[in-house]
Amino acid sequence: MRKTTTKLADGRELIYYDRDESVQRDARDRRPLEPAASFAEIRRDPVLGDWVTVASHRQARTYHPPADECPLCPSRDGRLSEVPAADYDVVVFENRFPSLSTDAASYVEGRDVPMQLGRPGVGRCEVVCFTADHGASFADLSESKARLVLDAWTDRTAELGGLPDIEQVFCFENRGAEIGVTLAHPHGQIYAFPFTTPRTSKMVASAVGHRARTGRNLFEDLLAAELADPVRVVLAGEYWTAFVPYAARWPYECHLYPNRRVTSLTALNEAERAEFPRLYLDLLRRFDLLFPGDDGPGVPAPYIAAWHQAPRHGGDELALHLELFTIRRTVGKLKFLAGVESGMDAFVNDVSPEAAAQRLREVAT
């Protein structure tokens, strides 16, 4: 892998990741951009104890542009984009409209009064473009390209996790307009948070409690239980296992775990990295075959793919894993969050996890 780091016209960092180590990346960003101010702040919810990000400047972000104005496609004569090069393998750059920013303290002051605790939203938000092909998806990638994306995620986890004030690095992909994606080009994002997210904090508490009660690791016991009774196992490799959780929240939800517990992408060994692309691409293609269209082929599934990895502090009991789920529950119908789900975080699933696993095993790839 060749990594080339450069700057965009407004000073944001852009990084090319190439399989060809001889490639030269010298294209310059010729757009007349001024540095953007980020007014991101984080506010502490005094009731739940969660940090909430307020980023009102994002209201002006790009929203469903036509394909010939896509800011994630390579630059062409007469159309300059966020990527100066005429082609690329994988590229990562700082978001132009970030929820968190390394210079937020220059624009936002902290607040420390009773019931109103606030801080500048210091962090970093990056965009990860998986391919230069606007009409493709992650599932269309070759195994070598998917491996390159994994290497990029790993590299960014290491670099962002070492920045001052960063507590957690979150790599994820939102796919499909139904999810709320505003740019159709195949891409994901990376958030470097200045706090541990609520979901991760809850997992840490569960794992610590399990260790105190049993003397064992929660996630190791969880994976062992699924393998012992594989009714919900979808794919099993030598180094990775994909299964539908026993208490899945979404109609079609699958978790992909390395069989050896590690806490971060950076801790995966070469054998685990080599096997991941095959299993993950297989899983994504199965999701796209869940809902057949009128002409037979599957209707692409809107999904969220999220990497869970340990925060900087207190996450030794966690296990790296990828969570993949779609909000489509059947042909032509989406899973909308009901009042008990949005209001009370008490999920109701319309599809049994065992039936979902069976369906994912049956669909041809």
Q: Which pair of tokens denotes residue 296?
A: 């037979």
- CB-CB contact of 297 with 233 (8 Å): no
Q: Record the tokens describing residue 254, joined without a space.
A: 């699958």
**Sequence-separated (6 or more) residues with CB below 8 Å from residue 292:** 298, 299, 331
Query: 322 with 328: CB under 8 angstroms?
Result: no
Q: Give yes or no for a contact between 82 and 71, defined as CB atoms under 8 angstroms apart.
A: yes
- Please count the other Cβ atoms lying within 10 Å of the Cβ belonging to residue 306: 18
* Alpha-carbon distances of 133 from 87, 112, 140, rounded to whole Å: 9, 47, 10
313 is a catalytic site residue: no
Q: Which stretch of DSSP H or E encloses residue 222?
A: helix 218-228
Distances (CA, A) of 324 to 194, 245, 342: 25, 11, 20
Tokens standing for 154?
A: 């790993």
Q: Coil, strand, or helix at residue 171?
A: strand
* Residues 151, 152, 157, 159, CA torsion sign: positive
Which of the residues 64, 185, 187, 308 is marked catalytic? 187
Q: Which three-class secondary structure state does DSSP give residue 315?
A: coil
CA distance 260 to 270: 13
Identify the three-state secondary structure at position 256. strand
Which residues are tagged catalytic? 187
